[in-house]
Amino acid sequence: MKELENLKISKQVINIVFVGHVDAGKSTICGQILMLRNIVDTRTIEKYRESAKESGRENWYLSWCMDTNPEEREKGKTVELGTAFFELPDKKINILDAPGHKQYVFEMISGANCADVGILVVSARINEFEAGFEKGGQTREHILLMKSGTIQKLIVLVNKMDDPSVNWSKERFTEIETKIGSYIKFLFNDTIFIPVSGLTGSNINKLEDNWYTGPTFFDYLNSIKINKRCTDKLNIIIVEKLKALGSSLICGKIDSGIIRKDTFVKAVPQNFNVQIVGLYNLDDVEIDEGVPGDTVKMKVKSEEEDYNLEAILLN
């Protein structure tokens, strides 16, 4: 019995990408998640809260967990693809936080091509939903881009339900659910809609005491089933090039195959050889190997100095 008790069952790794029209609240929800899962400590959160208040953006403090560069904090919008991770009882979740502005659609496409589950965030605030979905906004385009990527499941988070213009109105939620549902019914199956507040965390890890009786976001994410990935031919989609651990790293999502340290691979479309001299998870901890579904950081050795972020590493 003791042997069985000590047996560790590996958790399934799932990559999720948050997309949505600008100001829908994607980064705030991501920050709330990191706070609820104790990935970001209370002291740091309070520091962000005070700094955001001094900058005149008091309600933006949670988004600073993901929006880390000065430009993002000054403008109040995501411009780069943010990454983080957290764990649930049965899942390891890699977060990709994609920009919502049409100016940064390439970063959004990169995220959609690296994720298993798409999290579409829409604002329930009066006029904000309409601006994103009905008046030339990015919501429809983001849905289509997710369909053309690797997304297997779609979750729609109807955010800002606590806003005074909404006040947790079931009618407003149903209106949004009906409009988006009609648009996506032939694109994604079994899509779930969850009313949430990124600012307060309502229905993310604990149900709000009102009319909604469905699962919380965490409960649904923990129960989701993703198709198994191929483990033979290596295919890594590059997410970004970054500076960490004192050197340049490439961050990528393993779509298929297994990657190990000292592996020699080929970067395409440039067609040059690359050696993986270091392999790390998103917490900068060195790992022995990466498997399908993992998002990893790779320290590489190559004669080439410039890496195309669209490049895919193949063995």
Band (pLDDT 50/70/90 cuts) for residue 6 is very low
pLDDT of residue 279: 93
- What CATH number should be reported for the domain holding residue 143? 3.40.50.300
Per-residue model confidence as pLDDT tens digits over 148-196:
777 889 999 999 999 999 999 999 999 999 999 999 988 888 899 999 9
Asked whether the beta carbons of 12 and 226 are under 8 A apart, the reply is yes
pLDDT of residue 202: 96
Cα–chain center distance at 212:
24
Say how far apart CA 186 and CA 191 lie, in whole Å: 11
| Together in a domain, 69 and 176 | yes
| Together in a domain, 53 and 111 | yes
pLDDT of residue 198: 92
Radius of gyration of the chain (CA): 20
| Together in a domain, 108 and 176 | yes
What is the rounded average pLDDT for all residues in the chain? Answer: 80
pLDDT of residue 114: 73
pLDDT of residue 79: 44
Per-residue model confidence as pLDDT tens digits over 117-153:
999 999 999 999 999 998 778 888 888 878 877 788 9
Structural tokens at position 241:
């090039």
Per-residue model confidence as pLDDT tens digits over 248-291:
788 887 877 888 888 888 776 667 778 889 999 877 889 999 88
Domain boundary among 199, 223, 247: 223
Three-state SS for 194? strand
| Together in a domain, 136 and 189 | yes
| Together in a domain, 205 and 264 | no
| Together in a domain, 210 and 61 | yes
pLDDT of residue 190: 86
Domain boundary among 177, 198, 223: 223
| Together in a domain, 160 and 257 | no
- What CATH number should be reported for the domain holding residue 239? 2.40.30.10
Say how far apart CA 193 and CA 188 lie, in whole Å: 13
Asked whether the beta carbons of 20 and 100 are under 8 A apart, the reply is yes
What percent of the chain stands above pLDDT 70? 77
Residue with tokens 């604990």: 206
- Judge whether 245 lies within some domain: yes
**22 Cβ contact partners less than 8 Å away, ≥ 6 residues apart:** 77, 99, 100, 101, 132, 138
Band (pLDDT 50/70/90 cuts) for residue 1 is very low
Average pLDDT over residues 291-314: 71
Q: Which domain holds residue 184?
A: 12-223
Domain boundary among 223, 252, 268: 223
Structural tokens at position 60:
């933006």
Is residue 4 predicted with pLDDT exceeding 60? no
Query: What is the number of domains present in the chain?
Result: 2
pLDDT of residue 159: 96
195: preceding bond cis by omega (within 30 degrees): no
| Together in a domain, 207 and 270 | no
- Judge whether 274 lies within some domain: yes
- Judge whether 6 lies within some domain: no
- Judge whether 48 lies within some domain: yes
| Together in a domain, 183 and 112 | yes
| Together in a domain, 286 and 138 | no
Asked whether the beta carbons of 278 and 234 are under 8 A apart, the reply is no
pLDDT of residue 52: 72
**Pick the residue with more confidence: 293 or 281?**
281
pLDDT of residue 121: 95
| Together in a domain, 164 and 102 | yes
Beta bridge partners of 154: 118
Say how far apart CA 259 and CA 252 lie, in whole Å: 11
Say how far apart CA 119 and CA 116 lie, in whole Å: 10
- Residue 128 is given by DSSP the state H
Per-residue model confidence as pLDDT tens digits over 51-106:
777 776 666 678 777 755 555 444 444 445 677 889 999 999 988 877 645 554 55
